Amino acid sequence: MAEDLHRGLTASLAYPTLRAHLAINGADGHDPIAALSTAVLGRELDTAADPAAVLDWRLDPTAGHSSNPGPLPWLPGIPTTLATHEKYGPYLNARADLIHALVVDVREQANHCVPTTAPPWATHLNDPAHEQLPGDLAVWRAATDVPTQDRRPTGAPQPGAAAARVQHDLDARTAAVQGDPRSAAREWAPLATRLGLDVRHDPYWPELAGRLTSLRRAGLDAAGMLTAAAAEKSLPDEQGAAALWWRMSRHLSPAAVTTASKTTTRATTEAPALPRAWRDLAASIDLRLTTVDDWPTLERAIQDADTAGYDVATELPRLAAKGRLATEGTATDLAYRRRAASQTTNETELTVAADQLRLSAGPIARPEEEIRPSPRRPGRPAR
């Protein structure tokens, strides 16, 4: 039938999406053939790059494709015919309930992250005026399967109209917090390229560019620091931007490093002093830790870990025992182990619910071949 209405329609990239939406409309009590015929006759399709995508938009410009909302803003609701179906109704309703519960879990975990435990894409988003944004982004990333290593807050552009609309809104909200993420990259790209950095393929480059802009706004000579870091020795073939930031961070106070990470406008040169007990603990691990120039970096890491509720007295010696501390940057080495442990713990917690949300919000196969969602109390992570 589709080919009779428009030759080549079934070969279009968006045809599976169009077919699925026609099926949803049919289950909602509409005539899908009549709706498709009306859409085809609306205007010409010969100049369209993807006729199926054009017809899908014509069928429903709002991209809702359902008379009731779904469990996620970009998903259609369950058609009434299916929701009340003797066989499929209980499964589909249970799956929708599971998605609702997992959304609560993922959002709650993301909103409780602190700068030292936040995943890389969220380190710039700790703004009290936008406290819901990290949770909304975490839900989006989980449900749309954005890779963990992708530092773009919403990942790659989504082709579907409904998903693209939600993605655009999230991108706009993110830009309101941290500014246009591309502006910093444009600002620093010429200098970074001259210094030998592959800005087009380095996944850490946008992060470094944002931090350079923050340092510049704080009154620091970011360009000079970057140039000096690049002159220390040749950059590695991979992760060159990360290597540059590692070199720069050794010469920054912990407050300045935190300023760059949070994209604030003021840097300081001193951090609040730690209780004597923490200094004694560090000295008992390695006498160099409290006497080296980079002690403030470890000092701040201990402060952040203690504030976040970690058992520093037990964990710091354990992290130091994992391997010999670096001869240069001794305190920085231990500080990075501490922060890496925090981030790993947090991402493990977040990944459990996020993985379940990704699977639950994905395509539905045959219900009888899937594991049925087990009843669980909303708001609690599934373990």
350 occurs within a structural domain:
no
DSSP symbol at 273 = P
pLDDT at res. 270: 41
109 occurs within a structural domain:
no
pLDDT at res. 115: 57
Range of the domain at 240: 180-268
DSSP symbol at 265 = S
Rounded distance between C-alpha atoms, residue 26 and residue 21, angstroms: 9
187 occurs within a structural domain:
yes
SS3 76: strand
304 occurs within a structural domain:
no
CA distances from residue 315 to 118, 133, 276 in whole angstroms, order as listed: 19, 31, 18
83 occurs within a structural domain:
no
CA distances from residue 313 to 303, 316, 339 in whole angstroms, order as listed: 12, 6, 15
Residue-level pLDDT, tens digit, the chain, 383 residues? 777 777 778 888 888 888 888 888 788 778 888 888 888 888 888 788 888 888 888 887 655 555 567 889 888 888 888 888 898 889 989 998 999 999 999 988 887 776 556 776 776 676 666 778 989 999 999 999 888 777 788 988 887 778 888 999 998 888 777 666 567 788 899 999 999 998 888 878 887 887 888 778 667 788 998 999 899 888 888 888 888 988 887 766 554 455 455 443 333 334 445 567 778 888 888 888 887 777 777 887 787 777 777 788 888 888 888 888 777 667 777 877 776 666 544 444 455 666 677 766 666 555 544 444 444 444 443 33
Mind giving me the DSSP string for 188-241? HHHHHHHTT--TTT-TTHHHHHHHHHHHHHTT--HHHHHHHHHHHSPPPSS-HH
pLDDT at res. 190: 92
pLDDT at res. 367: 52
91 occurs within a structural domain:
no
How would you write 40-74 as a 3-class SS string?
HHHCCCCCCCCHHHHHHHHHCCCCCCCCCECCCCC
pLDDT at res. 128: 66
pLDDT at res. 195: 92
- pTM, full prediction: 0.55
Q: How many residues are present in the chain? A: 383
Q: Contact, 134 vs 114, CB < 8 A?
A: no
Overall number of domains in the chain: 1
241 occurs within a structural domain:
yes
pLDDT at res. 331: 79
